[in-house]
Amino acid sequence: MSEPVVLGIESTCDETAAAIVRGRELLSNVVASSMEEHARYGGVIPEIASRAHAEAFVPCVSKALADAGMELSDVDAIAVSAGPGLAGCLAVGVSGAKALAWAANKPIYGINHVIGHIAVTQLQFGPFPPDTLALIVSGGHTSLLHVEDVARHVDVVGTTLDDAAGECFDKVARLLGFPYPGGPHIDRHAQNGDPHAIKVPQGLTQGQAGARHPYDFSFSGVKTAVARWVEGRQAAGLDVPVDDVCASLADSVATVLARKAMRGCEQYGSKTLIVGGGFSANSQLRAKLLEYGERHGVEVRIPQIKLCTDNGAMVAMLGVNLVEAGVSPSAPDFAIDSAMPMTKISM
């Protein structure tokens, strides 16, 4: 089928989203977020998020169809995030998508949300060249993947041994008193700070550990080092230079990610690095990756911000890839998988 039309539905965490993609063209993209309802708890409350999905599901899908000037009968397939994510949240999106597929007699694909973050770059940059490497940086994942065929085969090259980069930022942000999610606040403050003000470790880059884990990441040491430093200042009655703390943290994390990604590209002979996930909205990381990419002769493809954070377009785009590749749709009784492994692309 050429230029398949796919409705993509997303509900893994605190965004309910629906979008329509035709081929590589984004026809509509609707996102409703329950983020503000979680802010006062300092993190996403699954029960509140699930309830918000139940409320937003039909309005989001209706608007995505209306914005594209379509009815459900016009789409060729429905794709929905089946994992990884919060079980209750996934259940709302998957149940809703199954109901639509059944009522309209459409094929349905339960897809991997993380692979969606990679797939979405095609809307901006076109198809993947061979031997593409992908850096996934989201709230829950920090991984380097080798994309052989986005519809059928993805390998894990490296992954975080403890915290994800986004998680590390969110934890330091809490310590500094920023509301959830703290990542964007650190980004903003870092823009006014000195990235070399505080010595922050760069996990798994040196010595034996670095040699043993050339493509793996560790961010819990960074988080602890920054926390100790801040607590030391507070205990001594000194004020905390927030901008400098943020800039030093952001520089350390961005440098490790960029260095390891480039090393992976060298190893796999890859001239293209795809970047995806909510944390790829981070301006320090974007700048560092583009700088390193230029130096190493690697084209770095980072999507525009609205496609970095969770959305339906990423789900629809991966759905298009699956239809184009002739992958069988998911069975009507497919389950959600809150711990879906990155090597599994669809259910």
Footprint of ligand KG4 on this chain (CB under 6 A)?
13, 138-140, 166, 169-170, 181-184, 186-187, 277-279, 281-282, 309-310
CA distance 329 to 192: 49
Piece of 84-92, 147-155, 296-304, 309-317 that binds Zn ion (CB under 5 A): 309-317
Q: Which residues pair with 147 in a beta bridge?
A: 132, 154
Query: Which partner in ligand KG4, Zn ion, none is near 166 (CB below 5 to 8 A by kind)?
Result: ligand KG4
Q: Is 315 within 8 Å of 16 (Cβ atoms)?
A: no
Query: Which partner in Zn ion, ligand KG4, none is near 309 (CB below 5 to 8 A by kind)?
Result: ligand KG4
Query: Which partner in Zn ion, ligand KG4, none is near 184 (CB below 5 to 8 A by kind)?
Result: ligand KG4
The CA R_g of the chain, rounded to the nearest whole Å, is 20
- Whose Cβ is closer to Zn ion: residue 205's or residue 311's? 311
- Whose Cβ is closer to ligand KG4: residue 216's or residue 310's? 310
Q: Is 248 within 8 Å of 193 (Cβ atoms)?
A: yes
Query: Which partner in ligand KG4, Zn ion, none is near 170 (CB below 5 to 8 A by kind)?
Result: ligand KG4
35-72 burial code (b ≥16 CB/10 A, e <16): beebeeeeebbbeebbbbbbebbeebbebbbeebebeb
- Whose Cβ is closer to ligand KG4: residue 140's or residue 264's? 140
337 lines the binding site for Zn ion (CB under 5 A): no
- Whose Cβ is closer to Zn ion: residue 187's or residue 310's? 310
**Phi, psi angle pair for 158, to nearest 5°:** -160, 160
- Whose Cβ is closer to ligand KG4: residue 279's or residue 292's? 279
Q: Is 330 left (phi over 0), alpha (psi -120 to 50) or beta?
A: beta
The reply to whether 137 sits in an annotated binding site is: yes
The reply to whether 138 sits in an annotated binding site is: yes
Query: Which partner in Zn ion, ligand KG4, none is near 329 (CB below 5 to 8 A by kind)?
Result: none
Amino acid at 323: V
282 lines the binding site for Zn ion (CB under 5 A): no
The reply to whether 310 sits in an annotated binding site is: yes
- Contact map string, positions 130 to 149, toward Zn ion, x by CB under 5 A: --------x-----------
CA distance 180 to 80: 26
- Whose Cβ is closer to Zn ion: residue 14's or residue 310's? 310
Piece of 60-68, 165-173, 209-217, 305-313 that binds Zn ion (CB under 5 A): 305-313
- Whose Cβ is closer to ligand KG4: residue 75's or residue 300's? 300
The reply to whether 282 sits in an annotated binding site is: yes
Query: Which partner in ligand KG4, Zn ion, none is near 312 (CB below 5 to 8 A by kind)?
Result: none
Task: Name the residue with tokens 């390891």.
Answer: 260
Alpha helix positions (H), the chain:
35-39, 46-67, 87-104, 113-119, 122-125, 165-175, 183-190, 207-212, 220-235, 242-268, 283-296, 305-308, 313-325
Edge-to-edge strand order for the sheet containing 299-301? Answer: 153-159, 142-149, 132-137, 272-276, 299-301
Residue of 14, 163, 244, 310 that binds Zn ion (CB under 5 A):
310
Q: Is 50 within 8 Å of 96 (Cβ atoms)?
A: no
Distances from the Cα of 345 to the Cα of 80, 114, 331, angstroms? 12, 9, 14
Task: Name the residue with tokens 């329950």.
Answer: 34
Interface residues with Zn ion (CB under 5 A) are 138, 310
Which residues are annotated as part of the binding site?
Answer: 113, 117, 136-140, 170, 183, 187, 282, 310
Which residues are annotated as part of the binding site for substrate?
Answer: 136-140, 170, 183, 187, 282
